[in-house]
Amino acid sequence: MFDNLAGFFIQWGITALSLWGASLVFKGIRFSGKSSLIVSALLLGFANAVLRPLVVFLTLPLTLITLGFFLLVINALMLLLVAKVVNGFTISGFWTAFFASMFISILGMALGTLAPNAELTIYRLPEHGSAQTISI
């Protein structure tokens, strides 16, 4: 149950560092304190894991027509949603969120390559009944 907990905390830290870096680069992103940054990173991870796949599925025709460009808009909307929910996290507008979401994604990928245990692990039940893990 707790096998992938270290990977979760590493990914949470990467997201928090990426958000903090975006607040330094973009004037329109502000955090009132460390707690709002940490909560924002947690909720952004939750939104990207739960809400984003649903929104991507619902907007699939628009994403296909725009050749995937609309996925950038969805990323910006997830960031704006988190800013609306978390007190102390403000974004000045859509375009700030749009470019900041690209920055956060690129920085997060770069930091993720340096992280030792942040790989995605899929758990499956084999036919024999013992648990196996497959790392991707």
Residue 24 CB burial class (10 angstroms; 0-12, 13-18, ≥19):
exposed
Alpha carbon distance 43, 30 (integer Å): 16
The Cβ of residue 108 has, within 10 Å, a number of other Cβ atoms equal to 20
pLDDT, tens only, 17-29? 999 999 999 999 9
pLDDT digits (tens, 9 = 90+) for 93-106: 999 999 999 999 99
0.85 cut: is pTM over it? no
Do the Cβ atoms of 68 and 51 come closer than 8 Å?
Answer: no
CB 100 within 8 A of CB 29: yes
